[in-house]
Amino acid sequence: MENQSHIGSAGLGVLGVLTIIFVVLKLLHIIEWSWLLVFSPALIGLALKIILIIGAVLMVMLGTRRGRKSKK
């Protein structure tokens, strides 16, 4: 068989597992949190991804701007 390597992550991360645990606890009425708090791990993960994307876009934009100035 061929030796295949996978790049990236597979499955749920810590935030995904926490979200599932909180949803189950909420549905079983073990915790009485608001749904916003229950889904907060997923929202935190989404916010971090958005921040990383914005940072990457800004770095590319600044890099191309500096490249234009150095060519003149």
CA-CA distance, 1 to 11, in Å (whole number)?
Answer: 24
Res 69 pLDDT > 70: no
pTM above 0.75, yes or no: no
Q: Using one digit for the tens of pLDDT, what is the confidence trace for 7-58?
A: 666 678 999 999 999 999 999 999 999 999 999 999 999 999 999 999 999 9
Domain ranges of the chain: 14-71
Number of Cβ within a 10 Å radius of residue 51? 10
Res 71 pLDDT > 60: no
